[in-house]
Structure 1
Amino acid sequence: EWNPRGTVLITGGTGGIGAHLARWLAKDGAEHLLLLSRSGEAAEGAAELAAELRGLGAEVSVVACDVTDRDALAAIIEAVPADHPLTAVFHTAGVAGHGPLDEIEAAGLGGQLSARTRGARHLDEITSELGVELDAFVLFSSGAAVWGSANNGANAAAGAFLDGLARERRSRGLTATSVSWGGWQDTAMAQDGNAEQLLRRGVRLLDPAQATLALRQALEQDETSLTVTDMDWELFTPGYAMARRRPLIEDIPEVARVLGDTEDTAETPEDATAGADLKARLAGLTDGERHAQVLALVRGEAAQVLSHASTADITPNRPFQELGFDSLTAMDLRNRLNRATGLRLPATLVFDHPNPQRLATHLLAELAKGGEGDLSDVLDIRRELARIGQALDSVAPDPQAREDIVEHLRDLMSKLGSTERDSTTDLEAATDDEIFDFIDRDLGVS
């Protein structure tokens, strides 16, 4: 059983995660908590936190220190009192920030990486050089280092470094545990756009009590590297596995169930109706008009997914990736097109057909595939009717011949059944001239 003793050092000690850690450690009997942060006692809420921790029975020191400053950090560690020797290090310090790597300036990227990576390396080197015997050396990594994230590239890179450092320390016979966290409630993360993005991907924020319980278990089991996260697998899995197999997670029972489903959900009656309506609209158009109609559908749905006011930026040949689509928005577009077309489209749709033009061509081909009631049948029938209409133009004005043709047309109409009962009734009551007018007008033959 792991229990804190002596002095426990927490970098980022006055931040959201650091404060939760400090409370947990104080409740578990930590004798002395050494909280490091850039602002020290001047940090917002630092005085209140220190008072709370003292009320739980711990001695507390709140010290200003930039962990990227090796000399300053070394001086603090060397000054730890002998009667409360340093026994554990928890490295949570980091600079907040998220966004695609190509949108982060070099200075900003360096700042996001440095506190995590350089700070961790300094802690490792200083404690090793001083011969400090630690019960725990805990690095706070990121889930982005495990499953990747377009908007958290800096966190992913820093987290990968921390995971590697933990393994490297183990190879030297030193303790180390790197935990890749999905996200914590009641921290700065829960208040910015990053939390919303995580939730959209299916990564729920952890309750701090659950997080610290998992951390205790990791320490007691002497783990080197692990991931602690609360996942909505039904939401996370389709987007994560859309481009290729994901052996990392596919053996998880909940994931296996999601991957075993046939293209997510079954077709709904609303989907079927929408698909039938679309096919009916396309059936009356030329090939060029049909493609234009489906392309307009794709561009419109893509604009809705990206919250664009118009389709102006959704140009036909511009790659979806350049438009800003990621795995989440690609799944959203796929789902919207499922509903609009009545098709069951694959999760890899946007990757397989990477721009609106190619996607529209694919959708049109899928809509025209054979099968009862499919667009190809409707188009074939309309072409045949048009050919018949053209042939009727050459029919001699012989009353008997016209009567025979009209009788055949009535027989054909009767085979359509009762779905259009009113129209059939109207046709039966129509005169010969009205039937020929109908052919000319509605079949486009003049």
Structure 2
Amino acid sequence: RRLRARPALSIGWGSWAAGMGAADAKTAERIRAGGLNPLSEGEAFAALEQAFSGEPHLVAASIDLNRIAAQPDLPRLIEGLVGRAPAASARTLSFDQLRGRPAGERRARVADYLEAELRAVLSSPAALPRQSSLLDLGVDSLTGAELRNELERALGVSVAITHLIDGSSLDELIDQVMAQLERKLVTEQHSAVGADTEEITL
């Protein structure tokens, strides 16, 4: 609508205190631990008044920057807000790091990475049983979306949120991610062979 010179406003709302009653205590505490405080109705309506500033998209949230800055792994969306670069993380893994590795090592690294990411989004310090249902471990639509986005950003794989909350286990998630990564590796290898063949033909 903005491109057509029509009025439009999109607001990315943080959690409202009035709506937190629908969330269980564990979910509410996890949200607060991540540095996102629930908005009171007064804060929310004050933010709404300020939102009519001409910007097409805004975020209205009560953020505890000190709590966020104390986390070992900063959320990438707000790294710049706390004034420091993110520290190196044991959770870091990329598709490039898996190239040329033996299949067994690729799976082991992906399995460790997925467990570390899952522990992070669940704020769980303990090791997670890989045969247990992700749902039983505490994954819901919010943590599922966070995990899905990280997998897409880091490894370029796409996992449906429904797969994360349908009773699948961590082992099954590892299998799904590995299947996508192996297909990507095979596609790359075929593309490289095709390019070499074309060069020789020319």
- TM-score w.r.t. the length of structure 2 is 0.49
Where relative contact order (Cα < 8 A, 6+ residues apart) is larger, the structure is 2
- For the pair shown, which has the larger CA radius of gyration, 1 or 2? 1
